[in-house]
């Protein structure tokens, strides 16, 4: 699906699914709002994709977003999108690799598809697309810092990195999204999303890594969306706000 909204400078894509133990999504949205100015928000859109298929959970999330951010929804700074279950293949009998359990293989395969369909939805909304997760915070002036980083990085890049962690804070040109969507949907069961982002750099002949230090996004999630898994990948804590 291609958006018919007016083109802005930056769209930030946030896929979210039910998380056992509680959601970080509203903390993430509050951080993105409080750390941006009214002028910033005229050049940026946040797209929240509800990426599981539990309709009652969707309505709860949407209701809380409407309650917490009515003006931002009215101004189309925040947009909400339901992932369509019809677009997903049956996530069964997937390749077992990296010594991952069947559950983890299915989880990471769906994460690839969630990202691909969100990028497809956001295509042509903005000049640049930033992929984050629903359990991050940012810093005051993040829009200005991202804008400056894009400008100072020149033209010889396919992926800019605003965080060291996984798939968080990866910047892509709008013109590259169709190729990236194709990669993610073709190899969703082969590799985790951060590996596929890395391969995207390789196949587009990006020879240098562009990482923004200090980082722009900090990962705060401890409880994973994968049942009975915890996460402790806080490397960005070493670089955030320095």
pLDDT of residue 227: 57
pLDDT of residue 236: 58
Strand order in the sheet with 170-173: 78-82, 44-50, 8-16, 126-131, 170-173, 160-161, 210-211
What is the Cα–Cα distance from 28 to 115, expressed in whole angstroms? 17
The pTM assigned to this predicted structure is: 0.91
Q: What is the arithmetic mean of pLDDT over 212-228? A: 82
Three-class SS state of 39:
helix
pLDDT digits (tens, 9 = 90+) for 12-58: 999 999 988 789 999 999 999 999 999 999 999 999 999 988 889 99
What is the Cα–Cα distance from 118 to 111, expressed in whole angstroms? 11
Residues 6+ apart with CB under 8 A from 56: none
Dihedral pair phi/psi, residue 205, rounded to 5°: 60, 40
pLDDT digits (tens, 9 = 90+) for 164-219: 998 999 999 999 999 999 999 999 999 999 999 999 999 999 999 999 999 999 99
pLDDT of residue 7: 87
The residues spanned by each domain of the chain are 8-238
Domain 8-238 listed as CATH 3.90.550.10: yes
CA distance readout (Å), 208 to 20, 108, 132: 38, 27, 21
């Amino acid at each position: 699906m291609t958006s018919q909204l007016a083109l802005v400078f930056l769209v930030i894509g946030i896929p979210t699914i039910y998380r056992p133990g509680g959601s970080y999504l509203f903390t993430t949205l509050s951080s993105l709002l409080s750390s941006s100015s009214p002028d910033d928000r005229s050049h940026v859109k946040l797209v929240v994709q509800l990426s599981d298929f539990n309709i009652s959970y969707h309505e709860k999330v949407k209701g809380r977003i409407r309650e917490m951010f009515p003006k931002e929804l009215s101004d189309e700074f925040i947009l909400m999108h339901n992932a369509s279950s019809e677009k997903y293949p049956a996530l069964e009998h997937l390749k077992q690799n990296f010594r991952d359990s069947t559950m983890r293989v299915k989880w990471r395969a769906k994460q690839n598809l969630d990202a691909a369909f969100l990028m497809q939805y956001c295509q042509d909304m903005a000049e640049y697309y930033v992929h984050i997760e629903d359990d991050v915070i940012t810093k005051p002036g993040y829009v200005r810092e991202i804008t400056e980083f894009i400008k100072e990085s020149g033209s010889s890049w396919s992926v800019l990195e605003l965080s060291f962690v996984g798939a968080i804070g990866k910047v892509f040109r709008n013109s590259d999204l169709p190729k990236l969507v194709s990669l993610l949907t073709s190899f969703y069961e082969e590799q985790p999303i951060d590996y596929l982002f890395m391969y995207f750099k390789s196949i587009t002949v990006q020879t240098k890594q562009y990482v923004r230090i200090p980082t722009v996004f900090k990962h705060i999630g401890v409880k994973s969306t994968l049942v009975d898994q915890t996460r402790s990948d806080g490397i960005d804590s070493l670089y955030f706000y320095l």
